[in-house]
Amino acid sequence: MSLIVLGSVAFDAIETPFGKTDKIVGGAAPYASLSASYIYPHVKIVGVVGNDFGEDNLKILSDHSIDIEGIQVKKDEKTFFWSGKYHNDMNSRDSLITDLNVLADFDPIIPSSYQDCEYILLGNLAPQVQLTALQRLEKRPKLIAMDTMNFWIESAMDDLKETLQHIDVLIINDEEARQLSGEYALVTAAETIMAMGPRYLIIKKGEHGALLFGDKQVFSAPALPLATVFDPTGAGDTFAGGFVGYLAQYGQVNFQTMKTAVIYGSAMASFCVEQFGTERLQGLTKKEIGDRLRQFSQLSSFVL
């Protein structure tokens, strides 16, 4: 049994009010798989890099026992590159550069050793690629979760609508939910989006937490109030990795287990933003994660 994480593997250049980085490891798959690896031990990536990515960067993943057999290394080609700049409030950012490079014609090959997968996270990538990966699985996983972003809503809406029909949970932010549904109120947006396919929907609201919709219920999870948000890049992918990692570890998928999974995702995301890139996710301890989960539990518990 395992959890497949499909997604971009990238070099990112990030600018926040706290500083600037040049080409550090990023992408949906590293953030999500590092996050999941702290909760569930059998995480396997499907992705692609150029030979500029380098062994050292792949080792960051394999050092966390993440299976990297499914990362194709394309000789003489360049790794996907993304550059973004955050506004002062850190809730919004501008994508400055999106160089697809190896992602432009990415064909997601699923190694045969990955066919035991019961959980899959279709991380941020072209929806057509997400669907192809799904179609290459010999048996339907117990849970198919998916992320997407404004880039694909704007450029590949038809493919996105098709892929949405095959998944169980969609994980997007509030801006993307409004853009995808054409509705401003999030409750109405959720109804419209779930009518497109997914039984469950998670809407992330940055520092305001996340909403889980499904089974005619709503669950609201807080975000941890943090004094310093250093770099929000990858927080969404880290959330998604923590969410599916918990469900894979627990082994049961229903609204109740998803509520706890949302808290795991939120806790992992709260670490991600404390340092630049994947730095904070590289050296977490079980105790730090346990302490943070307890903080979350205290944050919104009250007596009626």
The residue ranges that bind ligand AMP (CB under 6 A) are: 8, 10, 12, 26-28, 82, 98, 124-125, 149, 151, 233-237
- Beta bridge partners, 145, equal 121, 169
Least Å distance, CB 72 to ligand AMP, is 16
Q: Which DSSP symbol is given to 206?
A: G
What is the Cα 49 distance to its own chain's centre?
18
Least Å distance, CB 152 to ligand AMP, is 7
Which C-beta is closer to ligand AMP: that of 53 or that of 118?
53
CB 177 within 8 A of CB 190: yes
Task: Give CA–CA dist 240/256, Å, rounded.
Answer: 17
Least Å distance, CB 172 to ligand AMP, is 10
Least Å distance, CB 26 to ligand AMP, is 3
Which C-beta is closer to ligand AMP: that of 11 or that of 118?
11
**DSSP 3-state assignment of 240?**
helix
Task: Give CA–CA dist 226/274, Å, rounded.
Answer: 9
Q: Closest by alpha carbon to 151, among 171, 130, 180?
A: 180
CA dihedral 273, 266, 224, 180 (to 10 degrees): 80
Which C-beta is closer to ligand AMP: that of 191 or that of 279?
279
**DSSP 3-state assignment of 279?**
helix
Q: Which residues lie closer than 8 Å to 271 by C-beta, 6 or more apart?
A: 238, 280, 281, 284, 288, 289, 292
Q: Which residues lie closer than 8 Å to 96 by C-beta, 6 or more apart?
A: 83, 84, 85
Least Å distance, CB 117 to ligand AMP, is 21
Least Å distance, CB 298 to ligand AMP, is 26
Least Å distance, CB 30 to ligand AMP, is 8
Cα-only R_g, the chain = 18
Which C-beta is closer to ligand AMP: that of 84 or that of 141?
84
Which C-beta is closer to ligand AMP: that of 142 or that of 178?
178
286: tokens are: 């079980």
Q: Taking the alpha carbons of 203, 31, 169, 99 in that order, is the dihedral positive or negative? A: positive
Which C-beta is closer to ligand AMP: that of 117 or that of 240?
240
Which C-beta is closer to ligand AMP: that of 118 or that of 237?
237
Which C-beta is closer to ligand AMP: that of 117 or that of 125?
125
Least Å distance, CB 11 to ligand AMP, is 8
**DSSP 3-state assignment of 24?**
strand
Q: Which DSSP symbol is given to 35?
A: H
